[in-house]
Amino acid sequence: MTDRKPLSLQRLLDMHASGDKIAMLTCYDAAFASLLDEAGVDVLLVGDSLGNVLQGESSTVPVSLDAMVYHTRCVARGRKNAWVIGDLPFDSYQASPQEAWKSAAALFKAGAHMVKLEGGGWTAPIVRFLVERGIPVCAHLGLTPQTVTMLGGFKVQGRDDAAAAHLKRQAIELAEAGAQMLVLEMVPAPLAADLTRTLKIPVIGIGAGVGCSGQVLVLHDMLDVTPGRRPRFVKNFMAGASSVQDAVARYVAEVKAQTFPQDDLHSY
């Protein structure tokens, strides 16, 4: 993959428009950033999931902005062509658009090309504030780990008609506010596919079916490193792989070929 060009926001939008699937994985350090980039991963998400997989926390809530800045800087130094998204952690954007700006600017200075925030409704003005000031934003709807206790635990979101309509309204509102990408987590596959057709921005699924513009998984999950039980939507790509790079390349190939995720195994 050494001959590919650096990913740009316009290229990601074009991939969504043309149906060219986007392969995204979480990444937290320079060594893996280089490996994932070489294997053809389009987008590296410096996720606050690092709280779980690196720090041993039971949730993403304790992750600090300083930690996100540190790991974003590490990933930015290791990547060559991949697009880098940095998560805005809990308590770094909820109070005001001005707080969100300072937090987003810190991630941007560390090397992020885009920031991600969770939730809909109240987040639309924050998205608009950031985008108007030059920081691209990825929204995140469905199962939002930072507020999982409010959602009643790790449950599929948008199952009934009212919940699906509410989620769809929030997605459209976020896109109209300027969000240039949307992550949908643990959302029924038909709803995710409908939103992908409706929106003009890439919709990245995690437990949301093959009909999205692309897929994302936590790196440690798909490499079968995370201890304990993993969610239904995770596939162990290390099974049968000759190396970590081979496993990542298989993930990219299956996302591009739309053979992952499989509706009967990894979707709701």
Domains located in the chain, CATH noted = 9-257 (3.20.20.60)
Residue 154's pLDDT is what? 65
Residue 3's pLDDT is what? 67
Q: How far is CA 265 from the centre of its chain?
A: 20
| Residue 184 CB contacts under 8 Å (≥ 6 apart), including other chains | 141, 142, 171, 192, 195, 203, 204, 205, 206, 208, 212
Pick out the residues of the known binding site for 3-methyl-2-oxobutanoate. Answer: 48-49, 87, 116
In the chain, % helix, strand, coil (3-state, to 5) comes to 45, 15, 45
Cβ-contact 241, 221 below 8 angstroms = no
Pick out the residues of the known binding site. Answer: 48-49, 87, 116, 118
Token pair belonging to 160: 């009934």
| Residue 214 CB contacts under 8 Å (≥ 6 apart), including other chains | 15, 21, 22, 23, 24, 42, 43, 202, 203, 204, 205, 255
Token pair belonging to 120: 């809909």
Mean pLDDT of 15-44: 98
Pick out the residues of the known binding site for Mg(2+). Answer: 48, 87, 118
Residue 97's pLDDT is what? 97
Q: Read off the pLDDT of residues 192-202 as tens digits, 9 standing for 90 and up.
A: 999 999 999 99
Residue 51's pLDDT is what? 97
Q: How many whole angstroms separate alpha carbon 179 and alpha carbon 136?
A: 7
Cβ-contact 61, 51 below 8 angstroms = yes
Residue 4's pLDDT is what? 82
Residues assigned a catalytic role: 185
Q: Read off the pLDDT of residues 111-161 as tens digits, 9 standing for 90 and up.
A: 999 999 999 999 999 999 999 999 999 999 999 989 866 655 567 888 899
Length of the chain: 268
